[in-house]
Chain A
Amino acid sequence: MKDLPQTVFVVDDDDAVRDSLRMLLKSAGVHAEASASAQEFLSSYDASHPGCLVLDVRMPGMSGLEMQHELNLRGVTMPVIFITGHGDIPMAVEAMQHGAFDFLQKPFRDQELLDRVQRALVRDTENRARLRHTDRIRERLASLSPREREVLDLVTQGKANKMVAGDLGVSQRTVEIHRAHVMQKMEAGSLAELVRMMMAVAPPP
C-alpha cells in the first residue's frame, strides 16, 4: 500500500488540454494519470491511491463541481485543484466553499500549477498520515475487553481509580489491573497521551 506513488489525477474533457497537462506534470517529474470524464475517473479510482486531483470546472456530463460533491459523499479526502476558464470565477468561488484546495485560471504559468500541485500533494500526505494514526488508535481500541473499555472511558473523564471502582462495583485493585492492561494495549505512556488519542478518534462535535 505504501508503495503506491503519489499521483496527480487530471480530469479534463479536452484532449489537448488533458494531454498537455499530463506532459507538463511529467516534465516536472510528477506522475500523472489522465481521465476524459468524471465518470471515467470515479469508476477506476482506488481511494487508497495517494495524490491530488486537477479538475476542469466545465465538463460535459458530470461537471467538476458535481464531481467534487460526489467525492465528498464518498469520503475521498484527496485535495482538488480546479482549472477554470475566463469568466468562471463564480464557479471557482463555489468550489472553494465546498472545500476545494485551490483553483487556477487558464491559461496559466507552469510554475503556478506545479506549486499548487506540490502543496496539494503535501496536504494529501498529511491527511493520510492523520488517517493512519487514527486508524491505528481504532485498531487498539478494538482489542480492549468490554471491562477495559469501561475503565478507559471513566479514567479519560478524569476519574480516580477509587471512583472508577465505585462506579463499576469492583475493587480498586481490579481497576488498577485493568488500567495497566489499557495503557499497555493502547501503547500510551501517560494518561495525557491516552486522552489525546481518544480526542483524535472522537467524532467531531
Chain B
Amino acid sequence: MTAPTPEVLALLEATLDAAVIMDDRGRIEAFNTSAEVMFGYRAADAIGRNVNMLMTAADRGGHDDHLRRYLTTGESQVLGRGRDVRVQHRDGSEFSVFLSVGRIPNSAPPRFLGFLHDTSLRQKALATLEKERQVNRLYLDLAQVMLVATDRNGVVQLANQRAIRVLKREHANIVDSNWIESCVAPEDRATARAAFRHLLVSGNDEPQVCEYHVRSSDGEDRFITWRGVALRDAENVATGIMLSGEDITDQRRAESEAHRALERMNSVARLATMGEMAAGISHELNQPLAAIANYAQACVRFLRMPAPDLPEISGALEQIASQALRAGEIIRRIRSLVRNEDVRRETQDINELIREVHGLLASDARVHDGKLALDLASPLPSVTVDGVQIQQVLMNLVHNAFEAQAPEHDGAPFEVRIATRVTGSGDVEVSVSDLGPGLAGEAEQKIFEPFFTTKASGTGLGLAISRSIIKAHDARLGYRANHPRGACFYFVLPAHQEAPS
C-alpha cells in the first residue's frame, strides 16, 4: 500500500464531493473531509474498514461481487460511467449519491478512487416538483369548470376531471387526441376552429369568450361557454391554448322554458284582450246601427201617414246620417288599433313557432276530444315574422277548426292538422285543416267579414283580425276545401331574403 502523495491529498480535500480511495479488497485507504461530513465517520475511523459499510444493506453484498468480478474478468459496471447508488449515513439514514469510480493508474494490485456526489437535494427538488404537480392537478380537478389545454396544433395536453365528466371519456382517451375533431359537436367545429385560430394569432392576453357544443362519448351535446387564453413561450410565441369552459346547457334550457312560458302568457293575454275588444267593438257598433234602423223605420211609418210630420222626419234623417258617421268612426278606430300593434319582426323558423303553438293547444284538443297533428316540411326557408302574432293566428285557426268539428261528433276522433310546405316559388305555406263540415255557399263568401260568425258564441272577429295580421306580413289568409272533407285555411309567407352584403 502506497500513501497518497500530498498533491493527491490536496486534490481530495479541494473537492466538495466525498472522495474515497480503496484497495483491491475494498478497504478504505483515504477518506476526505467531505466524506466525513457526508457519512458522519472520522477519516481515522473509516480508514482500514471495508467501503461497503457506506452502502445500504441491500447493496452491500453486491459491491464485493462487483469488485471480485472486475478483478478476475476486468468487467466493470461502474468504471468510467458512474451510477446512482443508495448509501447509508453512520446514523443509519439512507440517501442517494452519484458515484463515479476510477482505477488509480499503474496500481497493482489495483486501487480505486471514488467520488460520491450527494444527489438527495436534486431528488428532493424532484419530489417537491412532483408534489406540486399533484397539487396543481388537484386544483384542476376541484375546479367547477372544464379545463382543457392543447398545443398549437389543437392536440390535448391536459383535461381536468370536470372536462372528463362532461365528455364522459377517459383522460387517456382525450389527451393526445385533437380537441376539435374528437370532442366538439360536428355542427360547431367551424366555430371552434375559428376561435382557436383567433386565440393563437391575436396578441391579446385577455381571455376570449366563445360558445359551442361539445359532444360526449354517448352522443349527448352540451352547450359550453369557453374562456380561452393563448399559452406562450419565453419568446412570446403561442405554443398552445388553455380553455376554461362552463356547462350552461341546463341554464339555457331553463331560460328558454321561462321565456316560452312568458310568451305563452303574453299570447293568451293578447287573445283574451282581443276577445274583450271584440265584445266591446260589437256592442259599440251595434248602438248606431240600432239607432239608424229605428229612425229609418220610424220615417217609413211617418211617411205612410196621411199628414206626415215632416219636421220629425227630417230630424230622424239627420240622425241617421250622423249615426252612420258614428259607426264609421268606430270602424276607423278598430283599424288604427290593429295597425298600431307594434310589430316585432324577426327571422324565424316557422316550424319552431308551430311546435310551440302545438304545446299550447294540446289542452284545447283534449277539451274537444280531438287530436292536433303536425305535418311539417323540413328544411324550410326561414321567414321574417312577428312570432307572437303568427302564433295568435294559428291558435285562432286551430281553435275554430276544433269548434267547427264539435257539433258533428260521430265517434271518429277529431283531427286538426297544421302543415307546412315550400311552394313552387320557394315561399312557405302554412295551413290549418280539419275534417269538419267545411264551409258552404254563403259562409265561404262571408267568412272573412268582420262580425260574421257561424258559432253561437262567436264574435266574428277572430278571422278578420287573423286576416289583417297576415296581410300586415305581406301575405293573404285564404280558404279552400280540404280533402276528403272539411275546411283548410292557409297563408303563404315570403321566404326570408338574405340582405346583399
Chain A residues within 8 Å of B, Cβ to Cβ? 14, 16-17, 19-21, 23-24, 26-28, 58, 83, 85-87, 89, 106-110
Contacts and interface: CB of A to CB of B under 8 A. Distances in A.
B69 to A, nearest CB: 117
Nearest to B281: A86
Contact of A19 (B299, B319, B451): B319
B316 A23 contact: yes
B276 to A, nearest CB: 11
B301 A20 contact: no
Interface of B: 279, 282-283, 286-295, 297-302, 312, 315-316, 319, 322-323, 326, 451, 457, 459
A108 B290 contact: yes
Contact of A106 (B290, B298, B299): B290
B319 A110 contact: no
Contact of B298 (A24, A85, A108, A109): A24
A23 B290 CA distance: 13
Contact of B312 (A16, A21, A23): A23
Given A20-B294, A24-B294, A87-B459, A106 B302 contact: no
Nearest to B303: A27
Contact of B297 (A17, A87, A109): A109
A85 B282 contact: yes
Given A16-B319, A16-B323, A110 B298 contact: yes
Given A16-B288, A19-B319, A107 B283 contact: no
B319 A85 contact: no
A107 B286 contact: yes
B403 to A, nearest CB: 15
A109 to B, nearest CB: 7
B326 A86 contact: no
A16 B294 CA distance: 10
Contacts of B286: 85-86, 106-107
In the A-B complex, the 7 residue pairs with the smallest Cβ-Cβ separation, listed nearest first, are A20-B294, A27-B301, A110-B297, A16-B291, A106-B290, A107-B293, A27-B298
A17 B290 CA distance: 7
Given A86-B283, A87-B282, A107 B298 contact: no
Interface SS of chain B: helix, strand, loop or mixed?
A: helix
Given A16-B288, A24-B298, A108 B283 contact: no
A20 B315 CA distance: 10
Nearest to B305: A27
B283 A85 contact: yes
Between B295, B315, B459, the greatest number of chain A beta carbons within 10 A of the residue's beta carbon is seen for B295
Contacts of B312: 23, 26-27
Nearest to B295: A20
A14 B291 contact: yes
11 contacts: A20-B294, A20-B298, A24-B295, A27-B298, A85-B287, A87-B459, A106-B289, A107-B286, A109-B293, A109-B297, A110-B300
Contacts of A27: 297-299, 301-302, 312
Contacts of B289: 106-107
Contacts of A21: 294
Contacts of B302: 27
Nearest to A19: B319
Given A16-B326, A27-B302, A87 B457 contact: yes
Contacts of A58: 283
Contacts of A110: 293-294, 297-298, 300-301
A80 B299 CA distance: 26
B493 to A, nearest CB: 33
A110 B299 CA distance: 11
Contacts of B319: 16, 19-20
A87 B301 CA distance: 30
B322 to A, nearest CB: 8
Nearest to B320: A20
